[in-house]
Structure 1
Amino acid sequence: MGEVHGWCEPCFGGVRDAFARNFADGRELGASVAVYQAGRPVVELWGGLAGDGAWRRDTIAFLASATKGLVAAAALVLVDRGLLDLDTPVAAYWPEFAAEGKSEIPLRWVLGHRSGVVAVDPPLTLADIRLRTPVRDALAAARPAWQPGQGHGYHCLTMGWLVCEVVRRVTGRTVGEFFAEEIAGPLGLDLHITLPPGTDGRLAGLVPPTERQLLRGRGHPQLEALNRAIGDPTSLFHRSTFGSVAVTAELLSSAGTCQVEIPSCGGAGNAAALARLYAALAGEVDGVRLLRPETTAAARTPEAGGMDLVLGCHTAYSSGFMLPGGPMWPGADSPAAFGHAGVTGAFAFADGDLAFAYVPNRMAELIEGGGDRVRRLVEAAYRAHG
């Protein structure tokens, strides 16, 4: 059941070894891992179970918040084309957003988790999300949880919807539609912010971690405040997650989540597609380069860092991406790296000419990525890269 399939270049054999070890140690159920170097694939591996059958090369899985990397890519492509500007207030594109003291919030504060618009009240339902207009209205009416620009905190659900509305205002398309047509299409990516009809049969079933695995994750010394906040309805973390969306069995089902646009956390794909995306954000892949070097620099330039007002631990963000530092980042502390993790365990990043992605179907022990499974793989990729 833990047999590893795929291929890797000989010098990246350590990634295959680490991947196989995850299965041998009983840490993995099903997963894929991929690496690009200098714009070309050097690792594409998959293995394990994806529900009732074996994980295949075309199996896709939930990305959770690693979907935010897709959203950020779409925003930066529009910045690169001159259709968006990071320093322009969101209200210039979306006038209704100016309510409740939000008129001066620039796009970069939304992408950098500094806007303070992290929660809505009352909670959105799945019907609201399908209709889209109630989501837009709720965000326009929302009051920032702190003085915008004065501190930062993870926009768990709101980041994707805020960017989605800005993208819609300038392109006439949702962020999922724009990503599919302008990024996934040209690069041939099996990567989706909203799952297209007919593809849900390839979606691996999501498996929560065991109680023992959860306890291991919650024992992380830097996550003490977050672990308290998860169970506290008055906490900003709780208000920005469970307090902002009415969680139901339908919302948590594979089809229910992936077939409506929840751009902060509802995406699906596999490691080969994610690694190819990050390679094209950092450089050129098969003649396609998504961003000019100066725009790629915005992906790795810090916008915020330090104590996260929502997560209660150290985090760092650029214009839409996580940066190294703190317990949510399982990679090396490199100033050139940018990427995103998700609670499913998915993690992808670019660092110079190295691009890495990992997508499992057993959820992470930590709230966003992390854990020994992915850390082993990342370390092996760096050793091979040199």
Structure 2
Amino acid sequence: MAAVIGRKGLAGLGGAALGALAQFVLVVVVTRAFPAAEAGAFFTATALVLMVAGIAKLDAGNGLIYFIARAKTYSYLGISGYIRAALVPCALVAAGAAILLYPRLGPPVLLLPVMVVADVLLAATRGFGLMRPTVLLDGVALPVGQVLLVGAAALAGVSGWGLTMAWAAPYLPVVVLAAAGLRGRVPRTPYLPGTGRDLWRYTAPRSLAGAIQAVFQRVDIVIVAALAGPAQAAVYTAATRFKVVGQLANQGLAQSVQAGLVRALADGERERARELYQAATAWLVLLTWPVWLAYAVLAPWVLRLFGPSYAVAAPVALVLAGTMMVATACGMVDMVLTAAGHTGVSLANLLAAVGCTVLLDLALIPAHGALGAVAGWSGGVIVKNLLPLWQLHRRYGLHPFGRHTLAALRRTAVA
């Protein structure tokens, strides 16, 4: 396994696992401490804040990773200018969004710029090849801090925007520590003319895709709350909390194979690309399918952890488990497509997935509540995975499973 995902991939996977566990505990704490309507209002508010933060990031973090990693090859001159050029627009967009959302969400939304700046700074540390700040701060400190503060607020009887503030507060130390981690690595240099133009010429096309991805990840909770009420939003959030397992496992594995896939496809080494893709898919299935099968079988009992009334969401859990098994069987298919240079096609696929989710949600949620929402989400996920799978097969003859799968598993097991 180490041969496939590498030491950094393992570190990212470990941090992701702890983060997923903390998020699960957070949902249990909130659903146990508050009625379904109050819990749903909290989940809707946090989903909306995270969705807006994902849009306001403008994908500047990925742009910084590209330019910082590239600058290391030549000189560090201009890195501080790239960081400033990334931070200022993102912070301004986040501040504007905070002002617009303040009448609805109250004081917690004022931390939106802090959330966005923290993400950009952590991305800058990854540009220097450092995974530890991301793992420790974003993967461990942030979710654990949220569990502790939200738990304390619940014990103290705090609700409403006070509870949301407890959830958002851990971003403050994260942004300070992320900035401190960069301080010794970024030389303070004069701003070089053209730095911002270069950064945003590269990043701007990706900003749209990042915004759409942020919407796709959380729009379902917001739509459930709007169409079926906050109580159904709480049921939906609890029943679908396990989907983060597949998302984080995919992310952890992607970090270890992305560079190799880019090189293999750029050099025309399709066999090497096929081997990497199939090996990573095999491990993704091995890591996550037992979770989905267990969740499908044990859902009526697992859901009782959130409270007796949540057991009725077992059908939602079944749809989630089946959908995630299909998605993980496709592997990190969208990443392979973008590694091959087809970012425009990837964006079109994402738009199709979001459109499918929204249309199904609007049609099904009013009558079926949380079950209709998971059906809409499932349709979007299937589109998001099967479209690029067909495109990769047509363009490159790549498949998630094949003759490389067993060989890759044997080699990684020996390693």
When Rg is computed on C-alpha atoms for both structures, the one with the higher figure is 2
With normalisation by structure 2, the TM-score equals 0.25
With normalisation by structure 1, the TM-score equals 0.26
Per residue, is there more strand in 1 or in 2? Answer: 1
